[in-house]
Amino acid sequence: MNNVIISTNIEQTLTEAIARVPHDKLFVLTDENTHRLCLPLIQQLPCLAEAQTIIIGATDTHKTIDTLCQVWTALGNGGGTRHSLMVNLGGGMVTDLGGFAASTFKRGIKYINIPTTLLSMVDASVGGKTGVNFNGLKNEIGVFNAADTVILDTEFLKTLDAENICSGYAEMLKHGLISNQEILSELLNFDLQQPDLLHLGQMVDTSVAVKERIVEEDPFEQGIRKALNLGHTIGHAFESFALTRRPVLHGYAVAWGLIPELYLSCVKTGFPTAIMRQCVSFIKENYGTFSITCDDYPTLFELMTHDKKNTAGTINFTLLADIGDIRINQTATKELIYESLDFFREG
């Protein structure tokens, strides 16, 4: 399990994290956005004086094998050895791809994640999943390998636009649904249009603890960790489908995916309709909707069949019988899945 630190002093925390890992070379991976917006917040720290910076393209469209090769090449050209250390400074794309690059360069070097988006703080930074998109599918290639340290500093939230705050918040909403009424109520009553960042930072702490608890229990997703996939079976299908039109942020796809999956939860496992309606209303209010027609259903269904949770071609869902009452490995007929997409469009 990686060492997750909620930091209020980035210099001290990062200095200690780097000192814990003996290394010959130090690299910092950023994308074009975090290089401009986030690196200046830590660039002058003495602990990074010797660091070499690697810059990759921003957004999920660059989460590819080609970008991975660029990082491997930069590590090699920079004199990297199996005793080197890499700091990934960025959102989930940077921490996922950087973690995979580190895990495979010279058969694996240590790495530190400093997530800079709300999404990567509450989701991508914890749990050791790394990877890249491949063949039109999200995170198709990757490994489980936790960062040596994950540093969460909510100062970086000030660099985010409203859309990226919303994107990360969708994963927090999911964490609320799989934990308890108190956490979910706080999330549904938070003003996402004018967020109080201090309060949001405290909620991040709670949200990360929910994920950590589940990951510790099931590090390799054999059982209960599948709880974290709520909203993701259909959400990932939306996200992959959007790549062929106009890419959407991961959290938006998850928020939209929660709507049909909560509908399935009501129909199949008895989730309370009133709570579903409350969640659907919050999502539509803050995330708008994703435009699909019934002609798109076969394509979306085909994308769902590629989900990594599936077994022998059967689409597996994580559903809820109630808040915190998780039912993994649930299935649904094609007709019911189509019905849930009808609900998504009309509900």
Looking at 107, 158, 245, 246, which residue is catalytic? 107
Looking at 211, 226, 268, 327, which residue is catalytic? 211
CB of 263 closer than 8 Å to CB of 343: yes
- Has 334 been annotated as catalytic? no
- Has 212 been annotated as catalytic? no
Looking at 63, 164, 171, 261, which residue is catalytic? 171
Q: What are phi and psi of 133, to 5 degrees?
A: -80, 150
- Has 175 been annotated as catalytic? no
Looking at 174, 175, 226, 232, which residue is catalytic? 232
- Has 225 been annotated as catalytic? yes
- Has 239 been annotated as catalytic? no
Looking at 175, 236, 268, 327, which residue is catalytic? 236
- Has 211 been annotated as catalytic? yes
- Has 229 been annotated as catalytic? yes
Looking at 62, 175, 225, 226, which residue is catalytic? 225
- Has 221 been annotated as catalytic? yes
- Has 107 been annotated as catalytic? yes
Looking at 63, 129, 138, 268, which residue is catalytic? 129
- Has 236 been annotated as catalytic? yes
CB of 99 closer than 8 Å to CB of 86: no
Looking at 250, 261, 268, 286, which residue is catalytic? 250
CB of 246 closer than 8 Å to CB of 334: no
Looking at 113, 229, 286, 316, which residue is catalytic? 229
Looking at 113, 133, 221, 327, which residue is catalytic? 221
Catalytic sites, residue numbers:
107, 129, 171, 211, 221, 225, 229, 232, 236, 250
